[in-house]
Structure 1
């Protein structure tokens, strides 16, 4: 088969995509449970679900399409409820790693908000949560990396590696978000709500660095998640500064539901090493800052800066289609402008369960709808290994990425692309 070119669109089969080495850098644990696993955990923990069949859950809760963001988020009340149990946390993390490995995903960064899962009254604190999730991921890693066809030799599949990204929440209320947050509001009842929220975020980052340094857990990054509009990233500047000063890498949910100025804030106020979603970068009409008079010029300049600095955007196509009513067709997604502007993009799932997707499905969606020749496809795969927050040192990361890209060539040759 002739090598693909920009002028000759190429069809990539799902089998080819599944065999390619891949990384998922934007992957929420609480949005990525197996449906059958959720049912099993709910029964064990006596958590009530709307249905106890996979088909029923997909019909009532985890749909292919959602009416609005609220409906999209509805299912998290069930996943978070079952995950407030250490056995369930470990199982969910293990199954998530196994599911990724079955479709050729060799590296994942699992993110979640530990404080959403903590339950102090039941002895489930930060350390217990982190160990449970890490134990599940480590179990899957050990099983996979002991296989005879995995390793660093010629023709071997890349080993499985992972990192954990801890999410602080942009906002939470006095009741209902989690037992930990409810208790924190009671303890700090004379504080302004935003001060309580920022205190929780600072406690999270201090605990994350302690466990990384003292116990060797692969906590590789900080994220800020939750409602973006009304809770700008700059409010958490001190939290991100603390992470920055302690060599913890940073990603920020930015440009998902707010204008490009939120992306600028993530870069300048929070030292973001990567951007989660970044959709509004090419939607100047979403800019609300009145001081920005030429919105299109602002977006162009910001996009050029991001491209030049090779700041990667974690792209979640299906999730954006489901939560952004402005996108009525995948071909209208701003991913096309990211490609045109040569921005480093990493194809991610966001929430495998809630969006009913996989990394391979997301690649297929991208490659079927946008012109991506083989060289650009290899670049996209490479960004997943070069822009990740690898838990080892830089030399180890380079060797791992090099092996993954050599394996890309092995698979591309097998399917006749080179």
Structure 2
């Protein structure tokens, strides 16, 4: 990392995290507490044991990386735990200067119809935890007098690209039983459409800050275009859209997210600068295709949600951080937002992700401020555009104040 920026400065500067999975970002000791309270069996009941057996520093593959979600999702089907997890996630971000977050998760993974835990209850419970943290933080004197920018948040709901007939969640198991004569892909799309319709209803009728749609899960074999109708419905109802694309598949998946799903942002986008990952046989000049797509993305200022640690963990072939494609994103002037993906599963923070990003390129203060600004200008703010502009302005003025206090120029 450039010695230009201290860890203290990176922690103090205002930041946003726009790619943040709730079910991958629990506190490890909080997970243990919740599991004991709910009777969920864990491989270990110590933080050290969980780090050794489940939430590791490195993983052999994406499947191993995703293994821990079976435990976090299980505890989050208890609504007391879900509210606590949302609250603690907001507070953990605030402790390191992250003043705007967009928390994403798949609500249907938390639903359990047999216990009366429906979509509305899951969403209201999650919002209650985030709102409690917001009210506590924004009630501080420094925030109320304008010395520090306030905290705010949005919720991004994820549809699942795939799920099994049993085990993913009680909701999905029941849905497959109800629609047992449908093809599995049809059931998955029905669930996705049900989720997006309910999301827009709660946003419009009850004012919940549901700001975006995402599609998550295994990318290879489950292309985003299969959910085109779901994204069209969101698009037609002014709900903003991000897509997990280019995480474990080639640049053609990124193109598909933009052209078939109207993506306003890209989740990961790592493979954009790895033309060797392109598998579409009709793309003969892979390097040219990748370069044209990169130029298209840069020109339209489509933000990329960069999650460096997560990429290094799920794709060991990358090697060390200096080989991460962020250096190419930076060189091509893409709008990049530094994100964590999963604070627990990747054992990281936003501050740590900035430290890693700064190891890949020499970044002057002006460019660092640009990177920070993308988090406030490219977010899916839960209010109108004028309010979003004012909020971003306040955050960036505070950036200048923090830089001066740390003698950074």
Shorter chain as denominator, the TM-score bin is: over 0.9
Structure 2 residue aligned with 1:44, among 37, 41, 51?
Answer: 37
Residue 338 of structure 2 corresponds to residue 347 of structure 1:
yes
Residue 76 of structure 2 corresponds to residue 83 of structure 1:
yes
- Please list the CA deviations of residues 9-61 of structure 1 after superposition, one character each: whole Å capped at 9, or x if unmatched: 55311100010000000000000000011011000001011111111111111
Aligned partners of 1:47 and 1:348: how far apart in 2?
29
Aligned partners of 1:152 and 1:24: how far apart in 2?
25
Structure 2 residue aligned with 1:331, among 319, 322, 325?
Answer: 322
Residue 327 of structure 1 and its aligned partner are, at CA, apart by 0.7
Residue 378 of structure 2 corresponds to residue 381 of structure 1:
no
Aligned partners of 1:303 and 1:369: how far apart in 2?
18
Partner of 2:251: 260
| Secondary structure of 1:253's aligned partner | strand
Kept after mapping to 2: 8 A contact 1:258/1:286: yes
Aligned partners of 1:320 and 1:304: how far apart in 2?
22
| Secondary structure of 1:369's aligned partner | coil
Aligned partners of 1:414 and 1:235: how far apart in 2?
50
Aligned partners of 1:29 and 1:102: how far apart in 2?
17
Residue 244 of structure 2 corresponds to residue 247 of structure 1:
no
Structure 2: which 5+ residue stretches go unaligned?
none
Partner of 1:55: 48
| Secondary structure of 1:417's aligned partner | coil
Residue 93 of structure 2 corresponds to residue 96 of structure 1:
no
| Secondary structure of 2:358's aligned partner | helix
Residue 390 of structure 2 corresponds to residue 390 of structure 1:
no
Kept after mapping to 2: 8 A contact 1:16/1:415: yes
Residue 8 of structure 2 corresponds to residue 15 of structure 1:
yes
| Secondary structure of 1:107's aligned partner | strand
Structure 1 residue aligned with 2:106, among 103, 106, 113?
Answer: 113
Residues 12-411 of structure 1: pairs in structure 2 closer than 5 A: 12-151=5-144, 153=146, 156-411=147-402
Q: Pick closer, same or farther for the CA change 1:261–1:151 going to 2, 3 Å.
A: farther
Aligned partners of 1:252 and 1:69: how far apart in 2?
18
Aligned partners of 1:357 and 1:324: how far apart in 2?
17
Aligned partners of 2:62 and 2:175: how far apart in 1?
27
Q: How many residues align?
A: 409
Q: Alignment RMSD, CA only? A: 1.0
Residue 256 of structure 1 and its aligned partner are, at CA, apart by 0.2
Residue 114 of structure 1 and its aligned partner are, at CA, apart by 0.3
Q: Pick closer, same or farther for the CA change 1:152–1:263 going to 2, 3 Å.
A: farther
- Please list the CA deviations of residues 194-227 of structure 1 after superposition, one character each: whole Å capped at 9, or x if unmatched: 0000000000000000000000000000000000
Report the TM-score when normalising by structure 2. Answer: 0.99
Aligned partners of 1:190 and 1:318: how far apart in 2?
42
Structure 1: which 5+ residue stretches go unaligned?
1-7
Kept after mapping to 1: 8 A contact 2:142/2:148: yes
- Please list the CA deviations of residues 308-367 of structure 1 after superposition, one character each: whole Å capped at 9, or x if unmatched: 000000000000000012211111111011011000000000000000000011111111
Q: Pick closer, same or farther for the CA change 1:400–1:151 going to 2, 3 Å.
A: farther
Residue 417 of structure 1 and its aligned partner are, at CA, apart by 1.9
The range that moved more, 50-59 or 205-214, is 50-59
Residue 151 of structure 1 and its aligned partner are, at CA, apart by 4.1
Partner of 1:3: none
| Secondary structure of 1:167's aligned partner | strand
Kept after mapping to 1: 8 A contact 2:304/2:335: yes
List structure 1 runs of 4+ shifted beyond 2 angstroms.
8-11
Aligned partners of 1:65 and 1:292: how far apart in 2?
33
Kept after mapping to 2: 8 A contact 1:152/1:158: no
